[in-house]
Chains A and B, each alone.
Chain A
């Protein structure tokens, strides 16, 4: 009972924190509105107009398809990048020599601007899902990889020794002691990677003319429809928020209950 009650309490606290979210959004809208009033409708449409336009876009089923296409691409790229990065990162974390070998490689990969990858993948895969997924893979994997490796390397070795004394084998030790410590590093990186996936997906779609939200944005740009463009931006941000709060946050909250216990009241929510 205590378990369920605790979870319910956390859910309630989390839902209640929606108010502070609303406050932040309202502040942003205020600044936006001020900008709108200073520069006029053409440069910056008002937030309300944008929101109305976004809702209008959602009324048409083909726009849902566009949004779902982008989400599918972003998520598939994210899952690929997350799995690959986490696996490689953890493996490399346990082998310091490999870490030394992979660090310069990472610098090289991170140094290549994402735009360049889009151009390359466009040539390799054409205007398809693979272009978008590959671009996401290249730009999001390194940060997950680094987080995984760091998580393993900064783990508390004393806990490993403790588990060994009580008879845990290497696999058991990793699962019960190592993994939790890796997750503490990995989850923030995954949240970041998810955001990157969405951004890169839209950018890749726009440049590769591969449909989805990016394609819609390209069309709006061609028609100089600022309100429409902003509406699409708003929709993609909302999609990201939905995915992040539906996917990453619950897992993180579940794993980090003990951290929450140590936080002062004001930060807790």
Chain B
């Protein structure tokens, strides 16, 4: 009978794959040690198994009643005495006071804590004592599964040995199963029935076909933009879109992954929304709608972009769970970190409710500033400077500047509203592409924006091309539109080649080096 089963568990922190396809199972009453070099994702695995982090892929099935965890640092509540700390999980489970006292005493005895130490606060206890209290806390709820996350790393050799004996005795007495994480092989041999070794997983290589499909989707949007003058670009885009679809479906049938199909449908839907909204917003004027109506739909388009943008995760330092670890899990909270969508939504709402131009102008300025605020945030974090981040930042900056212009013009600035909308649309387009890629990629490979250099190059070229295409309309360049459009299509073609290169060298598949468990 198994107590815990992990099947194909994988996790990535913002594109950096920490775990992929790890499977293991632990029987009832079995103590399993997980050893490996630091930074190979052992702690992350334990956190996933304990439900602290939700895995990007794979399944966690537990068949135990109650689990407990002993962390690397004691993590005691400093305002409670030792007894109060041991009683904390018991309180959470709603046990009566009398029973609690009894249990506290029992488990304190198990870890050889003396009665006089029970009244002391953690600050008054030595390091070893504190860790003992943490173990007693874990044992007090009589768990049938215990996670030990490198619990004795900070202790000296003699103390470590005593603690290990303690765990061994407790495991024999209480018959709990345990996942004991350590990087000390001797410790693993002493404590565990079975040892699993984890080594560095190679980073997920190989670009899945979604990138190609997504890039063709982009080309299709570009085709819409270009359809007035350069029909051939649109035709090419359509053709390639079809090709991508066929290749994609082939891949699905080869890999027999139904979740890929689901991801693909979601991906299509996202793209459709973006295309329809962009189309409606930009060309409604042609169909006899008033300029305001077309502007409003443009705004709605931007709003949708903002909402999609909120899904893009950006690592933020203050969400690091455990800064001492190499594999410190980023816990981005996309919606809460990002001001732009909320402010854009506010500004759109302001327009809808017919606020005065001055009020809505201020709201749009706030929205633009929100986008610009995001730009700085893109670069927060250790590994944040990556090309796609730069693109994200650039696109956000463009959107922000555009919206600022819109707001300022409502307040009576002389340069007019239309160029601002154009600039914002250019930025928005880049963001939409990134958002769609991100969503598709998340569903697909379990990583966020894990892009390689051809893709990044393609990104940049598409955005340069699109900007070039829009420049004469914005009145930023006095060149005749013809040559500029040609230049723009050159960039798009380069983007196409970059993507093709990305696709060609190896057939798209997820290569994983499974940890030997």
Please tell me which one of the listed residues A161, A166, A255 contacts residue B321 in the complex, with CB atoms under 8 A apart. Answer: A161
Which chain B residues lie closer than 8 Å to A108 at the CB level? none
Separation in Å of the B116 CB from the closest CB of chain A?
11
Looking at A165, A177, A261, which has the most chain B CB atoms within 10 Å of its CB? A165
Proximity bits, A140-168, B CB within 8 Å = 1, else 0? 00000000000001001111011111111
Q: Is the CB of A261 within 8 A of B92?
A: no
Q: Would you call A267 an interface residue if the criterion is a C-beta within 8 Å of the partner chain's C-beta atoms? A: no
Q: Mark B130-147, 1 if CB is under 8 A from A, else 0.
A: 000000000001000001
Query: Contacts of A166 on B, CB cut-off 8 Å?
Result: 68-69, 88-89, 92, 141
* CA distance in complex: A96, B380 (Å): 14
Interface string of A165-209 (1 = CB under 8 A from B): 111100010001100100000000000000000000000000000
Q: Is A224 an interface residue (CB 8 A)?
A: no
* Chain B contact surface mostly: loop
Complex Cα spacing A25 to B125, Å:
38
Number of residues in B with C-beta < 8 Å to the partner? 40
Pair B52/A261 contact, Cβ less than 8 Å? no
If the complex has contacts A96-B316, A172-B92, are A258 and B78 also in contact, measured as CB distance less than 8 A?
yes
B139 to chain A, nearest CB (A): 12
Question: Closest approach, in angstroms, between the C-beta of A157 and any C-beta of chain B?
Answer: 6
A93 to B224, CA, bound (A): 44
Whether A168 contacts B119 by the Cβ 8 Å rule is no
- Kindly identify which residue among B67, B121, B339 contacts A261, using a CB–CB cutoff of 8 Å: B121
Tell me, in angstroms, the Cα distance from A94 to B319 when the chains sit together: 11
Q: Tell me if B117 is interfacial: C-beta within 8 Å of chain A.
A: no
Task: Give chain B nearest CB distance to A180 CB in angstroms.
Answer: 5
A162 near B93: Cβ-Cβ < 8 Å: no
Say whether A60 faces chain B, with CB atoms less than 8 Å apart: no
Q: How long is the Cα–Cα vector from A165 to B78 in the complex, in angstroms? A: 18
Report B298 CB to chain A, min CB distance, Å.
25
Complex contacts, A162 vs chain B, CB 8 Å: 69, 71, 75
Q: Please determine whether B123 and A261 come into contact, CB atoms closer than 8 angstroms.
A: yes
Residues of B within 8 A of A94 (CB): 336
Contact pick for A158, options B66, B73, B88, B91, CB 8 Å? B73
- Given A157-B321, A261-B124, are A255 and B79 also a contact pair (CB < 8 Å)? yes
**In the complex, what residues of A have CB within 8 A of residue B73's CB?**
158
Chain B residues with CB under 8 Å of A249's CB are none
Q: A261: nearest residue on chain B (CB-CB)? A: B121
B337 adjacent to chain A (CB < 8 Å): yes
Known contacts A161-B321, A166-B88; decide if A180 and B77 are in contact (CB<8 Å). Answer: yes
Task: Assess whether B92 is in contact with A168, with CB atoms less than 8 Å apart.
Answer: yes
**B50 touches A (CB below 8 Å):** yes
Contact check, B79 vs A158: say whether CB atoms are below 8 A apart.
no
CB of A97 closer than 8 Å to a CB of B: yes
**B79 contacts A180, C-beta separation under 8 Å:** yes
Question: What residues on A are CB-neighbors of B342 within 8 Å?
Answer: 97
Which B residues lie within 8 Å of A100 (CB)? Answer: 339, 373
Instruction: Say whether B121 contacts A262, CB under 8 Å.
Output: yes
Cβ contact within 8 Å between B52 and A164 = yes
Q: Which residues of B contact A177 (CB under 8 A)?
A: 77
Within the complex, the shortest CB–CB distance from B324 to chain A, in Å, comes to: 10
B102 CB to closest chain A CB, in angstroms?
18
Count of inter-chain pairs, beta carbons less than 8 A: 83
State the Cβ distance, A49 to closest chain B Cβ, in Å.
47
Set of chain B residues within 8 Å of A167, measured between Cβ atoms: 66, 89, 92-93
Given contacts A157-B321, A158-B73, A162-B69, are A2 and B80 in contact (CB under 8 A)? no
Nearest A residue to B147 via CB reads A165
- Taken residue by residue from 66 to 102, chain B's Cβ proximity to chain A (1 for < 8 Å, 0 otherwise) reads as 1111010101011111000000110111000000000
B318 at the interface (CB under 8 A from A): yes
> In whole Å, how far is B507's beta carbon from the nearest beta carbon of chain A?
41
Pick the most buried of A96, A162, A255: most chain B CB atoms within 10 A of its CB.
A162
Residues A262 and B336 in contact, CB atoms below 8 Å apart:
no
Any A CB within 8 A of the CB of B156: no
Which of B81, B88, B316, B321 is the one whose CB lies under 8 Å from A176? B88
B121 contacts A165, C-beta separation under 8 Å: no
Contact flags B52-74 to A (C-beta < 8 A → 1, else 0): 10000000000000111101010
Q: A166-B89, A167-B92 are in contact. Are A161 and B52 (CB under 8 A)?
A: yes
CA–CA, A150 to B230, complex, Å?
Answer: 56
| B-contact bits for A88-99, CB 8 A (1 contact / 0 none) | 000000111110
Shortest Cβ distance from B435 into chain A, in angstroms?
18
B345 to chain A: closest CB distance in Å? 13
**B50 neighbours in A (Cβ, 8 Å):** 165
By a CB distance below 8 angstroms, the chain B residues around A222 are none
A165 adjacent to B69 (CB under 8 Å): yes
Tell me, yes or no, whether B447 is within 8 Å of chain A by CB. Answer: no
Question: Chain A contacts of B373 at CB under 8 A?
Answer: 100
A212 to B455 Cα, complex, angstroms: 72
Least distance between B299 CB and chain A CB atoms (Å): 21
Chain B hits for A165, CB < 8 A: 50-52, 67-69, 147
Residues of B close to A255: CB separation below 8 A: 79
Residue B337 contacts which of A96, A153, A157, A164 (CB distance < 8 angstroms)?
Answer: A96
Does A268 have its Cβ within 8 Å of any Cβ on chain B?
A: no
* Interface-centre pick from A97, A158, A163, A256 (highest chain B CB count, 10 A): A97
* Residues from chain B with Cβ under 8 Å of A13 in the complex: none
Q: List 21 A-B contacts (CB under 8 A).
A: A96-B318, A97-B337, A98-B336, A159-B75, A159-B77, A161-B47, A161-B75, A161-B321, A164-B51, A164-B52, A165-B67, A165-B68, A165-B69, A167-B92, A167-B93, A176-B92, A180-B77, A257-B121, A258-B81, A261-B124, A262-B121
Q: Give 4 A-B pairs besides A100-B373, A158-B71, A161-B52 with Cβ atoms closer than 8 angstroms.
A: A156-B75, A163-B88, A165-B68, A176-B92
List residues of chain A with CB under 8 Å of any chain B CB: 2, 94-98, 100-101, 153, 156-159, 161-168, 172, 176-177, 180, 255-258, 261-262
